Amino acid sequence: MDRNFLDLLQELRVVQTGTQILAGFLLTLPFQARFEDLTAYHRTVFLVCISLAVLTTIFLVAPVSSHRMLFRRHLKDRLVQVSHVLASTGLVLLGLTMAVTLCLIFSVVVGDRAGLVAAAVVVVAFAATGWVVPSVVRSGSRGPHD
């Protein structure tokens, strides 16, 4: 369980930084001069985007705070299970955050239809790399520990 938890924490280190930078960037947008020019639709997409970014950060940081709360309580196996669910949820939220962020950018720069297409492409790419590829690899393995 120690190795599993350390592996999980290492994976989270990779995604936490990018997620926090994205959330920080999004937090600055309402204070930009052109923000007032956004349509109601773009403001709504922005609010969904920033909400997803904050939720993503919460879910990806939660395993660390859970570890702090459960430290030396001999609950490592449950901590690893719960942290796995939190991190997996955080990764799904990250994919949605990236899709909605791209939707907002493409919508403002090119048009709303382009924004929706860009978001759909990102969702498909995240699903392919995060679910389809690992499923294919798992189905081709020789045993449960390969």
Q: What integer pLDDT is reported at residue 145 of this predicted model?
A: 59
Q: What integer pLDDT is reported at residue 6 of this predicted model?
A: 79
pLDDT band for position 143 (50/70/90)? Answer: low
Distance, CA of 30 to CA of 79 (rounded, Å): 38
Report the percent of the chain where pLDDT is more than 90. 48
Report the percent of the chain where pLDDT is more than 70. 96
Which has more pLDDT, 114 or 32?
114
Distance, CA of 67 to CA of 85 (rounded, Å): 14
Confidence check: pLDDT of 146 > 70: no
Confidence check: pLDDT of 93 > 80: yes
Query: Is the distance from CB of 100 to CB of 84 less than 8 angstroms?
Result: no
126 — phi, psi (to 5°)? Answer: -65, -45
Confidence check: pLDDT of 11 > 90: no
Confidence check: pLDDT of 123 > 80: yes
User: Residue 80's Cα: distance from chain center in Å?
Assistant: 19
Confidence check: pLDDT of 9 > 60: yes
Output the DSSP codes for 27-94: HHGGGSGGGGG--HHHHHHHHHHHHHHHHHHHHHHHHHHHHHHHTTSS-HHHHHHHHHHHHHHHHHHH
pLDDT tens column, 13-60: 778 788 888 888 888 888 888 888 999 999 999 999 999 999 999 999
Kindly give the interhelix angle for 112-127 and 76-109, rounded to the nearest 10 degrees.
Answer: 150
